[in-house]
Amino acid sequence: MRGTAAPKHVRPLSDSRKVRKHHPHFQHYTRPHLTRSTTNSLNKSTTQKLGLTQDQFTIMTSDAEALVLSHDPHHPANLICELCRKFYTHGWVTGTGGGTSIRHGEHLYIAPSGVQKELMQPTDMFVMDFATKSYLRRPQSLKPSACTPLFYAAFSLRNAGCCIHTHSISAVLVTLLCEASGSGDVFEIEQIEQIKGVPRGYGEERKGNLGYYDRLRIPIIENTAHEEDLKDTLEGAIKAWPDTYAVLVRRHGIYVWGKDVAQAKTLCER
C-alpha cells in the first residue's frame, strides 16, 4: 500500500533529532528571541562557524526557546520573573542586584545579570544542565549571573529546588550589628514569632520547625569584591552548619534556599 506523504509544512522529526544528536555545539548556542526579523538577520559567519545550515540553526534554536516559553504560570521561567517582581516591591532586589534560580528536573533556570528585576521576561532566562554545568540556553545579549556557582552550591549540597539571593537592607544591617556586637560569624535569635516557620534542619531526625523558645542560627561569611569568589566560603558555611537554610553575606545580603519554590520564598520572607 502506498504511504501518505507528510504535509510540506510539517518538519520531519528526524531533522531535529539529527541536529541535536550529532552537532557538538547544540547545547552551547541560542539566541534570546526567535523572531522572523532575527532569523533573517543572522550573521552568516555564525552559522558557518557552527557548521550548520540556516534550517538546522532554526531547528536548534527553536528547541532551546521551548525551554522557556510556556503559558503555565508555574513554569520555572515564569516563576522567576514573578518572584523577582515581588521581591522588587519589597526593596530586596532593586536595580539589577540579587537573583533567583530554580531546579526543574535536570535543568537549572537562572535569572541573568544586568536586567532590572521588575522588567525581567522568560526569554531572559539562562538554562543549565545540572550534571554537566553546560548551558542549554544562553541568551547572546545577556551575561550569566555571577551568583550561578553559589546557587549551584545550594542545589548540589542541600538538594534544593530553589535558591534566592537578595540585597535586603535588613539582612545587611544584621551582619553589621553582629560585627559590632562581637558575635562575628553567626546571627542568633530566639523568642520571636517568625522563626516558627523555619525548619529545624534536614532528615527525619530534624523533622519539623523551630519553636518559639528555640534558637535560630544563620552563618555569616565575609563579602568579596567579586560575587563568584564567595563560592568556597559559602560552601564551607553550608558544610559547617548542616541545619541551615540560609547564609548571610556581610555588607552584601543573603542566600536562602528550600526544597521547592514555595519553601524558599517563605523562608526568604521570614
Give the Cα-Cα-Cα angle 88, 91, 92 (nearest 5 degrees): 80
Annotated active-site residue 106? The verdict is no
Burial class (CB in 10 A: 0-12, 13-18, 19+), 82: middle
Give the Cα-Cα-Cα angle 25, 26, 29 (nearest 5 degrees): 80
Q: How far apart are CA 234 and CA 39, in angstroms?
A: 42
Backbone angles phi, psi at 106, to 5 degrees: -95, 10
Q: How far apart are CA 209 and CA 265, in angstroms?
A: 16
CA torsion through residues 115, 119, 125, 130, sign: positive
- Residue in this structure with the C-alpha cell 562557524, named with its chain if needed: 49
Backbone angles phi, psi at 226, to 5 degrees: -125, 130
DSSP string, 112-160: PBSS-GGG--GGG-EEEETTT--EEE--TTSB--TTHHHHHHHHHHH--
The enclosing H or E element of 39 equals helix 36-40
How many separate helices (H) and strands (E) can be counted in the chain? 9, 9
Residue in 190, 193, 222, 269 annotated catalytic: 193
Write the CB contacts of 18 (distance below 8 Å, at least 6 apart in sequence): none
CB of 187 closer than 8 Å to CB of 221: no
Positions annotated as catalytic residues are 193
